[in-house]
Amino acid sequence: MKQFCWGMLAMASLVAGLIFLRYWKVTGDRLFVFFSMAFAMLSINYLVLAAVDPAFEARHLIYLIRLAGFILIIVGIIDKNRSVR
């Protein structure tokens, strides 16, 4: 059941990333690129969690992918606030 839920979360994250990518094409705002990459990273995280055996000892290292996604969101927000208007 966990694999099914992680698969649904991966699909939802990928769809959100594609929507942000579409908004970037329309507006040209770099914030949407950062959000799109972050949601792609979250999608990868959920796919890896679904594929890895629950007994895998280094499973906590997979969450570094999610951390990278959240760092991308923070970098995008900082970049948006520092941009020259």
Query: What confidence tens digit (pLDDT) does each residue in 13-69 have?
Result: 999 999 999 999 999 999 999 999 999 999 999 999 888 887 777 788 888 999 999
In sign, the C-alpha dihedral spanning 28, 34, 35, 41 is: positive
Listed by start position, the domains of the chain span 2-82
Better pLDDT: 70 or 85:
70
Instruction: Say whether pTM exceeds 0.85.
Output: yes
Closest CA relative to residue 23, chosen from 35, 38, 41: 35
